[in-house]
Structure 1
Amino acid sequence: MALGKLFGRLFGSSSSGTDKAPSPPDRSQAVEYKGFTIIPAPRPHGSQYLTAALIEKELAGETRTHDLIRADTHASADDAKAFAIQKARQVIDEQGDRLFSAG
């Protein structure tokens, strides 16, 4: 066994090597909600998918983007997309435009 794999297993990195870089989000699946655009973007995590989405809004002539990533995992990309939209709506309801505030 290579030392890199040994240290990876000891310190918790993925030993399976199955995590892939996230694909660019599919903008055709964007959902409009209260003036925000939600673009589901599930991220592969082993054999499952993490909940992730981009939340965008035009403010003062500039498109602002928030990258929503949660630790929730799902068996399919479609399940992760549906849950990401639900969670993004919740975040928008709770934070509104403050979502884009620094700090």
Structure 2
Amino acid sequence: MGLFSRLFGAKSAPEPKEVTPVEYKGYLIYQEAMAEGGQFRIAGRITKTIDNEVKTHRFIRSDVVPSQADADDLMLRKAQMFIDQMGDNIFS
């Protein structure tokens, strides 16, 4: 199968990068901007341990910006606002 992949240009999935979460009011925010057409889509995860279980909310926005740093900054601010508005209902 490796031969056919090389012949027909199939690319392997990119290695997931290690993301250091930002702690906010007991939640962990993972800024995981997605490269898309030379820009970056605002994306990430919000997690919290509730009753010894890690709950996760995946966060993908339609917004795209020119740099990964801008996407990560906007992700953090939007996630913080979402946490302030929804609290633990994020995971419902």
Q: Give TM-score, length-normalised by structure 1.
A: 0.72
Match of 2:28 in 1: 37
How many residue pairs align between the two structures?
Answer: 80
CA RMSD of aligned residues (A): 1.5
Give ranges in structure 2 of 5+ residues lacking alignment: 1-12
Where 1:24 maps in the other structure, the secondary structure is coil
| Residue type of the alignment partner of 1:31 | V
1:51 aligns to what?
42
Matched, 1:87 2:74: no
Contact 1:54 1:68 in 2 (8 A): yes
Structure 1: which 5+ runs fail to align? 1-20
* Structure with the higher strand share, 1 or 2: 2
- Which residue does 1:27 correspond to in 2? 19
Identity of aligned residues (%): 39
Secondary structure, counterpart of 1:69 in structure 2: strand
Cα distance, 1:53 vs structure 2: 1.1
Letter of the structure 2 residue corresponding to residue 65 of structure 1: T
Shift of 1:25: 5.1
Aligned counterpart, 1:75: 66
CA contact (8 A) 1:24 1:41 kept: no
What is the alpha-carbon distance in structure 2 between the residues aligned to residue 35 and residue 74 of structure 1? 28
